[in-house]
Structure 1
Amino acid sequence: MKRFAFLIAVLTGLDGIQACAQPAETPKAKVSTYEFAATPSWQDEFDYSGKPDPKKWNYDLGDHGWGNNELQNYTDKVENAKVEDGYLIIEAIKGKSGKVNYSSARLVSKGKGDFLYGKFEIRAKLPKGRGTWPAIWMLASENNYGNKGWPDNGEIDIMEHVGFDQNKIHGNVHTKAFNHSIGTNKGNNVVVETVSDEFHTYSCEWTPESVKILLDGKDYFTFTKEAGYEWAQWPFDKPFHLILNIAVGGNWGGQKGVDDSIFPRKMEIDYVRVYPLVEKK
């Protein structure tokens, strides 16, 4: 009996040692999931006529090249930006304007539509022709980081298109750490043969954890905030505003020259809708 009791005690002790050796469970990190409201919080359906709604849009103006050696003068003239028949029309025109030989428009929502996260939908038909460079994109509304300018405060390109590469749509992000000027660009492109013949929906889904670019509801580029990212990699935690424009020529749009015979050229926009982010608990 004493020997039996001793064996039980030994075995019980071994069980205790094994139990103590088991590692404690690591707490699971909380994974946030996000969705977007069904109703826009900011939108322009362009159901009026004349100049773009001044309660929603400002103009960037000038003929100084815009950092890309562009050839157009951005104006606030109705011939370059107007609303008619339910569409916003941004038109690039050949003709003397300011110090250059082309005019166009660059509409910005800054101060009238500034957004931190959300789903952005723009339905548009793009211009066609060598030398055109239309874009639907976003910049930071405040300069909080680095040298207080580009690219430190970030850029989100919902849609870029260059006329010399007609059937390709580009989506990108730019930051201090990731941008084309230093060869670290983050982006992708998708081939679509009807960008100038049909309307397509260009979208961005922006959350605290990722920026996703979509065409007609299908995502083709996602930039994710990785562990350890700071503002140089991820400045996308401050308000941004929308920009709609057509550039002429420039470092990218003019890589194969400008075909003057194509002008005027226009981008037609059916609507702009912004759906706020809703975090699911």
Structure 2
Amino acid sequence: MEPSRRRRALATAAVLLAAVPAAAFATIPADATAPPTPPGWTLQWADDFTGPAGALPSGSDWIFDLGRSYPGGPANWGTGEVQSYTNSPANIALDGAGNLRITALRDNAGNWTSSRIETRRGDFRPPPGGRLAIEGRIRLPDVTGQAALGYWPAFWALGSPYRGNYWNWPGIGEFDVMENVNGLDSVWGVLHCGVSPGGPCNETSGLGNSRACPGSPCQAAFHTYRFEWDESANPARFRWYVDGQQFHTVGRDQFDATTWRNMTSHAGYFVLLNLAMGGAFPDGVAGRATPTPATAPGHSMSIDYVAVWTAGGGTTTPPTTTTTTPPGQGWDAYREIQAEHASARSGGVLEAASEGGQDIGQLKNGDSLRFSGVRFGSGGARQFLGRVASGAANGVSGLVEVRLDDPRATPVGSFAIASTGGWQSWRTVPANISGVTGTHDVHITFTSGQPAAYVSVNWIRFGA
């Protein structure tokens, strides 16, 4: 729920409210775990929120978003929300019965608090030619009518390049798996992309559709919300489901090549859960500012599980690309190793390089590249060279580090990089390393004191 709904109009919301007739659906018990992985799919990640009542969700799986914005990002999360997010168990906690509850509260001064979390992993995407599914089983806050005005629960995903930038929306892509406002019996599925305002995704509204929850209102029972990204289809497609019933689809053929590439060629997506109060979407649907004095605090969004699967085409944990090195032979440390052929990548954007071929651009703090099975031989490599470029703003810089076998190992060498005059203004920068021999997985890590992107990498190699 980024700037996506900053100015969502009442007219747009009214169109999306047109509901498909509900069908019968058998309700699963509220304490169900994530369902078994179906044939042909591979489980990439899941959380079924098992744990004692009052405990916070796992910090190894989730990041807590706090306050009223990301550091340096749009105020009020870019959407006009009125609440402040906390990590207090009063706002977010396991219920002891296999569910996570996110609760919106109002204090005596009229201030609202709630919670928002996002997965630490930001690499969820389909394998080449395969499929990705993001699914959650959720019961929306059990409140309707005037008492529900301003409630805005959501289950969604953002492109990983948003982290540390916060101003590149909507180009990096946003998949709203489930949105709901004001206690209405309706689920919205929305895609955000391209440029804002306008563009191929009709921003800031996005490309969306909605329908009533099957069998029982969205607020009265748990329902399963699912998004699929299908690269095996021709053209590739995005699909939205509630309780197994498809209600929205968007195809690759609706976009120009640049728009599609910008939202699909990066490292992947991270998943978010939150319960907002007020903002452009609920205000637009209600035709007035929300929440109101009649809005009742204390209602919860309950999440039974969240799971991510892939199917076909290989694996995306972590995302991989095809290399030109014969299988089992690894990399020759003393020849150029193209960045786009990394065995795994976290962060950055795959893009055309001005020198030919491709590079990994816009890398920032916390990003990494991994090259498996790099052969140094017995002589000992004593130099690391990177073909790099930077269009970072003045004062933005960082390190390009070499680590062996473990991304958390102490670097064996590094060099600093600041602006070279542009993201395609390439330089070969050397660094001394300490006589590396043998065969290793080489991790190139990126560390900076600023959140902004600061380097692009075309290739790496080592020298004796």
In structure 2, how many angstroms separate the alpha carbons of the residues matched to 1:273 and 1:82? 19
Could you say if the C-alpha distance between residues 180 and 246 of structure 1 is closer, same or farther in structure 2, counting changes exceeding 3 Å?
Answer: farther
In structure 1, how many angstroms separate the alpha carbons of the residues matched to 2:133 and 2:181? 25
> Contact conserved, 2:152 with 2:179, CA < 8 A, in 1?
yes
> Contact conserved, 1:135 with 1:161, CA < 8 A, in 2?
yes
In structure 1, how many angstroms separate the alpha carbons of the residues matched to 2:255 and 2:181? 35
In structure 2, how many angstroms separate the alpha carbons of the residues matched to 1:54 and 1:228? 37
Equivalent in the alignment of 1:163: 182
CA radius of gyration, larger in: 1
Aligned length in residues: 240
Could you say if the C-alpha distance between residues 205 and 230 of structure 1 is closer, same or farther in structure 2, counting changes exceeding 3 Å?
Answer: same
In structure 2, how many angstroms separate the alpha carbons of the residues matched to 1:70 and 1:225? 32
2:247 matches 1:220: yes
Could you say if the C-alpha distance between residues 70 and 231 of structure 1 is closer, same or farther in structure 2, counting changes exceeding 3 Å?
Answer: same
Percent identity between the two aligned chains: 29
Equivalent in the alignment of 1:52: 57
Give CA deviations for 1:145-202 in whole Å, capped at 9, x if unaligned.
Answer: x9961111110000000015x111100101113345356x311111225111100000
Give the secondary structure class of the aligned counterpart of 1:279.
coil
In structure 2, how many angstroms separate the alpha carbons of the residues matched to 1:248 and 1:227? 33
In structure 1, how many angstroms separate the alpha carbons of the residues matched to 2:133 and 2:209? 19
Structure 1 unaligned residues grouped into runs of 5+: 1-34
Indicate the larger mover: 122-131 or 258-267: 258-267
**Which among 153, 178, 184 is matched to residue 172 of structure 2?**
153
Equivalent in the alignment of 2:225: 202
Shift of 1:37: 4.2
Q: After the TM superposition, which residues 227-246 of structure 1 pair with which residues of structure 2 at under 5 Å, given as runs?
A: 229-233=256-260, 235-238=263-266, 239-246=268-275
Give the secondary structure class of the aligned counterpart of 1:262.
coil
Give the TM-score taking structure 2 as reference length.
0.48
Give the aligned residue type for 1:75.
T
**Which among 70, 75, 84 is matched to residue 86 of structure 2?**
75
Could you say if the C-alpha distance between residues 182 and 36 of structure 1 is closer, same or farther in structure 2, counting changes exceeding 3 Å?
Answer: farther
Give CA deviations for 1:8-33 in whole Å, capped at 9, x if unaligned.
Answer: xxxxxxxxxxxxxxxxxxxxxxxxxx
In structure 2, how many angstroms separate the alpha carbons of the residues matched to 1:44 and 1:105? 17
Q: After the TM superposition, which residues 44-193 of structure 1 pair with which residues of structure 2 at under 5 Å, given as runs?
A: 44-49=47-52, 50-63=55-68, 64-84=75-95, 85-95=97-107, 101-109=111-119, 111-112=120-121, 114-117=123-126, 118-127=132-141, 128=143, 129-143=148-162, 149-163=168-182, 166-176=184-194, 177-181=199-203, 185-192=206-213, 193=216
In structure 2, how many angstroms separate the alpha carbons of the residues matched to 1:171 and 1:217? 14
Give the aligned residue type for 1:101.
N
**Which among 276, 282, 302 is matched to residue 268 of structure 1?**
302
Shift of 1:233: 4.5
Equivalent in the alignment of 2:453: none
Give the secondary structure class of the aligned counterpart of 2:158.
strand
In structure 1, how many angstroms separate the alpha carbons of the residues matched to 2:202 and 2:274? 20
Which structure's relative contact order is higher, taking Cα pairs within 8 Å and 6+ residues apart? 1
Structure 2 unaligned residues grouped into runs of 5+: 1-37, 69-74, 127-131, 315-464
After TM superposition, what 4+ stretches of structure 1 lie above 6 angstroms from structure 2? Answer: none
Equivalent in the alignment of 1:19: none
Shift of 1:227: 7.7
Shift of 1:39: 4.5
In structure 1, how many angstroms separate the alpha carbons of the residues matched to 2:167 and 2:124? 19
RMSD: 2.6
Indicate the larger mover: 259-268 or 49-58: 259-268
Equivalent in the alignment of 2:238: 211
In structure 2, how many angstroms separate the alpha carbons of the residues matched to 1:40 and 1:216? 19
Give the secondary structure class of the aligned counterpart of 2:81.
coil
In structure 2, how many angstroms separate the alpha carbons of the residues matched to 1:155 and 1:265? 26
Give CA deviations for 1:82-110 in whole Å, capped at 9, x if unaligned.
Answer: 1122101111111279xx8100101100x
> Contact conserved, 1:248 with 1:254, CA < 8 A, in 2?
no
Equivalent in the alignment of 1:30: none
> Contact conserved, 1:79 with 1:91, CA < 8 A, in 2?
yes
In structure 2, how many angstroms separate the alpha carbons of the residues matched to 1:242 and 1:203? 12
2:43 matches 1:40: yes
Could you say if the C-alpha distance between residues 230 and 130 of structure 1 is closer, same or farther in structure 2, counting changes exceeding 3 Å?
Answer: same
> Contact conserved, 1:207 with 1:277, CA < 8 A, in 2?
no
